[in-house]
Amino acid sequence: INNFTFYLSGKMFTFPQQTSTAHVRLSTTRVDFRAVTVCLRYWKDGNTAYGLFSLATPSAANDFLLFKTATANQIYVYARNADALFDGQEYTLNAWLSVCATWDSASGLGQVWLNGKPSSRKFTKSGSNIKGRTIITLGQEQDSYGGGFDAKQSFVGMISDVHMWDYVLSPCEISRYTDNINFTPGNVLNWRALDFQITGRVLLEEKQNICY
């Protein structure tokens, strides 16, 4: 287990194998969220089920979760342990994808933006904030607070540019993130100053971009 705080621009986490242990834990001192936006970029091959971003609190293992199903173009957003299924967006294999997911407690609506294009807005759960000390993992999906990992749901691929905000980003802000042009970095998690802990075989590497 290694603890780091890094300026990670131009870097990526590589998860090279299916495992029930290897993951990255991201740290924040925030304990109360009435709204959330999470954005990240990832590269993956194969249509398997995996967690992209898992936030658990003592009261809810799936307090905010992005879970990609084995069905090609389906992804779940969980908020406060309640889920909504988003379908029909094109999750291309072997390419960098930009994914942003939003939720706010007042309306209970969640939404997924894939490469800057929005899904429908769907209801998950309303009326209560995400509260409590958070455990946030990349590479593994938490079925219990900080654990319950299943190798068959582990992420194998690369993840980069992880940001989290405590509000719902506007469409224009999400577009700027997708294009990586002058966007406001996350005020909860900021890839440019990320506090993280690596467990198991996860590599921090230079981000691979396609040259034309």
Alpha carbons 5 and 189: distance in angstroms, whole number: 12
Residue 176's SS3 state is helix
Tens-digit pLDDT profile for residues 144-175:
999 999 999 999 999 999 999 999 999 999 99
Pairing of strands 50-57, 60-68: antiparallel
Reference 100, options 53, 135, 139; nearest CA is 53
Tens-digit pLDDT profile for residues 63-110:
999 999 999 899 999 999 999 999 999 999 999 999 999 999 999 999
Alpha carbons 70 and 90: distance in angstroms, whole number: 13
Tens-digit pLDDT profile for residues 38-51:
999 999 998 899 99
pTM: 0.95
pLDDT at residue 95, as a whole number: 95
Q: Does the domain spanning 11-201 belong to CATH 1.10.150.120?
A: no
Does residue 134 surpass a pLDDT of 60?
A: yes
